[in-house]
Amino acid sequence: MARPRSEDKRNAILEAATEVVAEQGVSAPTARIAKRAAVAEGTLFTYFENKDALLNQLYLDLKADLRGAMMNSYPSAERVPVRTRHVWEKYVDWGVAYPLKRKALNQLGVSDRISAQSREAGMLAFAQVTALMQESLAGGVLKDQPPAFVGAIMSSLAETTMDFITREPAMAERYKNAGFEAFWAAIAAR
């Protein structure tokens, strides 16, 4: 009967947190997040119990967002190399298109405020992605390593690729291709 809790406001806070955490890291003041979201300082705490809850939720949301991007229009019917490339491209495109999301996600990833539980939940979102890569490994150098290792390698190569694209946007396509080639060479049979 009272004013309902606004999904918009909640999103505004999460978006503001994305920007502010990207800029200042997890030690960014909640007051600044609230201000950026155009809500009162106290309002933040009606949507999130405390700062840690907000940070963990943001981490989960960003992970889910990234996963959504990678799985969007996923070409299930195609062969492994095509599918792998699709995932790679979507990953890199996401990071390039949303540099603040990427930066925030990285800040959160190294922070000790993200709980083990959140990390696990975040990883789960990628299980599917990494699973598919196993198929590529048959004759590759990583054929005996765990899927998570391959997934982590993709992640780290994609991050490196994005770093360079960010610094030299004009070279985006070149880096994106080169990065994938390196990744594919690293995991595929020869």
Partner DNA sequence: AATGAATGAGAATTCATTCAT
Partner DNA sequence: AATGAATGAATTCTCATTCAT
Given a contact cutoff of 8 angstroms between Cβ atoms, the answer to whether 47 and 10 are in contact is: yes
Return the residue of 38, 97, 156, 169 that touches a copy of itself, per CB under 8 A: 156
71 alpha-carbon distance from chain centroid: 12
Is the Cβ of residue 42 or residue 139 nearer to DNA in the bound state?
Answer: 42
Enter the tokens of residue 19. 């920007």
Please give the residues from 2 up to 21 whose contact with DNA meets the rule CB under 7 A.
2-6, 9
Given a contact cutoff of 8 angstroms between Cβ atoms, the answer to whether 26 and 111 are in contact is: yes
Please give the residues from 5 up to 34 whose contact with a copy of itself meets the rule CB under 8 A.
23-27
**170 makes contact with a copy of itself (CB under 8 A):** no
Rg of the chain (C-alpha set): 19
Return the residue of 15, 123, 134, 155 that touches a copy of itself, per CB under 8 A: 155
Given a contact cutoff of 8 angstroms between Cβ atoms, the answer to whether 95 and 158 are in contact is: yes
CA distance 114 to 148: 20
Instruction: Determine the size of the site formed for a copy of itself (CB under 8 A).
Output: 40
Residue 25-54 contact track with DNA, rule CB under 7 A, x = bound = --xxxxxx------xxxxxxxxx--xxx--
Enter the tokens of residue 177. 């291709």
Binding region for a copy of itself (CB under 8 A) out of 49-57, 83-91, 104-112, 116-124: 104-112
Is the Cβ of residue 3 or residue 73 nearer to a copy of itself in the bound state?
Answer: 3
